[in-house]
Amino acid sequence: MTGTALALVMGAAVLHSAWNALAKRGRDPLAFLWSSFGLATLWLLPFALWGLWTRGLPAAAVPFVAATAVLHALYFYALGRSYRSGELSLVYPVARGLGVALVPVLALLLFDERLSPLGIVGVALVVLGIIQLHLTPGTLSRAALESGRAGPGTWWALLTGFTIAAYSLVDKAGVARLHPVPYIGLLGLGSVLLLLPTVLARPEALRGEWALNWRAILAASVMNLTAYLLVLFAFRLSKTGYVVAAREVSIVLSAIIGSLWLGEGRLGPRLMGAGVILAGVACVAVAR
């Protein structure tokens, strides 16, 4: 992975963990996510339309734009449901970790992208670190596993992880056919419109979220699409598996935020898993 790609991905990780923490603190996470993403899309849309005016919309990009809009709508819905019933420091690692585990395998099948041995070790360490975080003693996740039942937050987090793997691969191909700025503008507009009926079905939740958390929504809107825009540019510079794995340093940040800011549990055990993830990220970052 090049230094430029790594810098883009690290910046995206910081922004991504921050807006997820704000969404978790929201009164209704789905209403918060839809509002922040919709607002960010509105801000980006003029630049996206200018890109389409000057560059055009290649016919080859249309299927990828449509597919990613559907996948992102499902992603935000599943993520919102996850945060309603699960902790940030547990839901986030499950969702992001599943994406890390699936993307390199699918990228091998679809793009013939072969990870180097060091890259394989790095991805494996990331996954092992995520497992360590999820099995932290004293957490709701550990209690659910010991009782033989996974909580609803875990199931929704798993679905979120599948959508992450799917849209990562779609977007890798999509930005090869359309510039990232109009691409992300169109995917944002499409996913916001697809989720509109679901959000409007509970208007009181939407009004309440804006009344209580409008400042956080504004802040998250700045971070939201900016973070993924950095990832899309990184996709142009490096392999899909490397970008997605390195981005998961945000799991470390989410564990710290969940423990210290949201009061979800002891920091020490979470940092043990975070250390394994950092080792994996380092391996992926230096792999060629």
Q: What pLDDT, on the 0 to 100 scale, is given for residue 147? A: 46
| Contact present, 38 and 30 (Cβ < 8 Å) | no
- d(CA 176, CA 243) in angstroms, rounded, equals 15
Average pLDDT over residues 118-124: 79
Residues 6+ apart with CB under 8 A from 149: none
| Contact present, 231 and 68 (Cβ < 8 Å) | no
89, HSE (Cβ side, Cα atoms, 13 Å): 30
Judged against a pLDDT cut of 60, whether residue 227 lies above it is answered with: yes
| Contact present, 132 and 94 (Cβ < 8 Å) | no
User: Is the pLDDT higher at 244 or at 226?
Assistant: 226
Q: Which of 74-88, 230-244, 260-274 has the highest mean pLDDT?
A: 74-88
3-state secondary structure of 236: coil
- d(CA 274, CA 254) in angstroms, rounded, equals 10
Write down the domain spans for the chain. Answer: 3-286
> Could you give the C-alpha distances from 160 to 92, 107, 121, 165, 236, in angstroms and in order?
9, 18, 24, 9, 24
Judged against a pLDDT cut of 50, whether residue 118 lies above it is answered with: yes
Taking the whole predicted model, whether its pTM rises above 0.75 is answered as: yes
The count of other CB atoms within 10 Å of the CB of residue 165 is 22
The count of other CB atoms within 10 Å of the CB of residue 147 is 9
**Residue found under tokens 């922040």:** 36
**Residue found under tokens 């700025």:** 181
Q: What pLDDT, on the 0 to 100 scale, is given for residue 82? A: 92
Share of the chain above pLDDT 70, in %: 88
In this structure, of 19-28, 141-150, 175-184, 274-283, the range with the lowest mean pLDDT score is: 141-150
The count of other CB atoms within 10 Å of the CB of residue 155 is 16
Q: What pLDDT, on the 0 to 100 scale, is given for residue 2? A: 77
Judged against a pLDDT cut of 70, whether residue 288 lies above it is answered with: no
> Could you give the C-alpha distances from 161 to 96, 216, 260, in angstroms and in order?
6, 25, 25
Angle of helix 62-85 versus helix 180-200 axis, rounded to 10:
50
Average pLDDT, the chain: 83
210, HSE (Cβ side, Cα atoms, 13 Å): 10
Q: What pLDDT, on the 0 to 100 scale, is given for residue 137? A: 60
Average pLDDT over residues 176-181: 90
